[in-house]
Amino acid sequence: MNEVLLRSLTPSVLGILVRRGADFAAAEDAVQDALVEAVRVWPAAPPRDPKGWLVTVAWRRFLDATRADTARRRREDLVDEEPEPGPASAVDDTLQLYFLCAHPSLTQASAVALTLRAVGGLTTRQIARAYLVPEATMAQRISRAKRTVSGIRFDRPGDVSTVLRVLYLVFNEGYSGDVDLAAEAIRLTRQLAAVIDHPEVAGLLALMLLHHARRAARTAPDGSLVPLAEQDRGRWDTGAIAEGIGILQAALARDRLGEFQAQAAIAALHADAPTAGETDWVQIVEWYDELVRLTDSPVVRLNRAVAVGEADGPRAGLAALAALDDAASPGSPGSGHPLPRRTAVAAYLHERDGDLETAARLYADAAHQATNLAERDHLTRQAARLNARRKR
């Protein structure tokens, strides 16, 4: 059974049902039923036209469900509309499905779950395992999301930036359960790039490939985090790096710079450096300046402070960090909410500046603030390492 084929066909089959007049929620249920039937039937009797087979079975499942709760006349109209068996329509509705699943009326969690289900073709159980929640909880989340978007016109123009944000959220979830969400996000972004010509789509795909290329080197055999500067670059995926840089260069040549292209450019500079010491931090700071201009994000400013510390020295980095703190003073937007990793960044810069006592204290504080076990353990080890150095 070719699971990748099934998942790749899911959005186009769903799109065909919706285009024929099926309600989105009912159409999505019918497509899932067809996928289950395909898993049962195809190993013994693979169809000549997999997409056409799925469309036929899903449409009949939709009609069966419709017969149970619609008026006789509407039922007969739908039956009359059933097409003769044959090749499925070549119209690709994947892009509209992306827009629908990333609709602004949905919460981010619901948009991600619906994207994985309707566009990614994952089962509710797979999504639940990926997010480490009960299957019933995920089923309720997906059902609510489907109800929310069911009344929205399928041909309504969508916002590409919202779609990209959802895909980026999927990618950042990484890996858990039995589904590699980082790899799934790359697959979905490739699919999106095939149906829409947009430099930011290419920028996001490049960014994902460049980050994913370092994945094997990010953790030690015992599961502990390995910082970028300490990673074995021989374990990086050079094929993914070359592909990502090629996609990025083509996108940048269009002179329509966006957030994801700028992030990918920074990732490319890291990937280009043969060693950590040869990283072009001056150019990285320049790209962060572009990102600040594009987003004015506190997280971007925090990362810029690290880059400034590498390019111009730790005290310059601390000054950039202080400027960020001033911008987040009481009364400013986002004040009152601690910035993730701010304490860890301060610890790193103080260590670089030789203030081991302050750095050790801040590493310990950062460990208490960490939201995942691997990061907490890494920061705790950093604090212990500096405390041991101070006692020598």
Full DSSP string of 221-263: TTS-B--GGGS-GGGS-HHHHHHHHHHHHHHHTT----HHHHH
Partnered with residue 179 across adjacent β-strands are 176
Q: Which residues pair with residue 299 across a beta bridge?
A: none
CA 352 to chain CA centroid, Å, is 33
Residues 87, 259: Cα–Cα separation, whole Å: 41
* Cα–Cα distances in angstroms (integers) from residue 91 to residues 13, 88, 152, 188, 343, in the given order: 10, 9, 20, 18, 51
Query: Taking the model in full, what pTM does it have?
Result: 0.78
In the chain, how many H helices and how many E strands? 19, 2
User: Three-class SS of residue 21?
Assistant: coil
pLDDT at 212: 96
CA distance 335 to 263: 25
Contacts of 354-357 with C-beta under 8 Å, sequence gap 24+, read 356/386, 356/389, 356/390, 357/390
Contact 18, 24 (CB under 8 A): yes
Would you call 176 helix, strand, or coil by DSSP? strand
Q: Tell me: the pLDDT tens digits for 220-268?
A: 999 899 999 999 999 999 999 999 999 999 999 999 999 999 999 999 9
Contact between 377 and 224 (Cβ < 8 Å): yes
11/126 Cα distance (integer angstroms): 17
> In this predicted structure, what is the pLDDT of residue 157?
53
Average pLDDT over residues 373-389: 94
pLDDT higher than 60, residue 89: no
Q: Which of 86-100, 114-128, 226-240, 283-297 shows the lowest mean pLDDT across its residues?
A: 86-100
More confidently predicted of 374 and 173 = 374
Neighbours of 211 (CB within 10 A): 21
Mean pLDDT computed over 185-197: 89
Q: Give Cα separations from 40 to 50, 121, 295 (angstroms).
A: 14, 16, 48
What share of the chain has pLDDT > 70, as a percent?
86
Q: Which of 231, 221, 218 is nearest to 375 (CA)?
A: 218
For the ranges 81-90, 100-109, 247-256, 319-328, which has the lowest average pLDDT?
Answer: 81-90
| Of 135, 199, 212, nearest in space to 170 by CA | 212
At 5-28, the pLDDT tens digits run 888 888 889 988 888 888 888 889
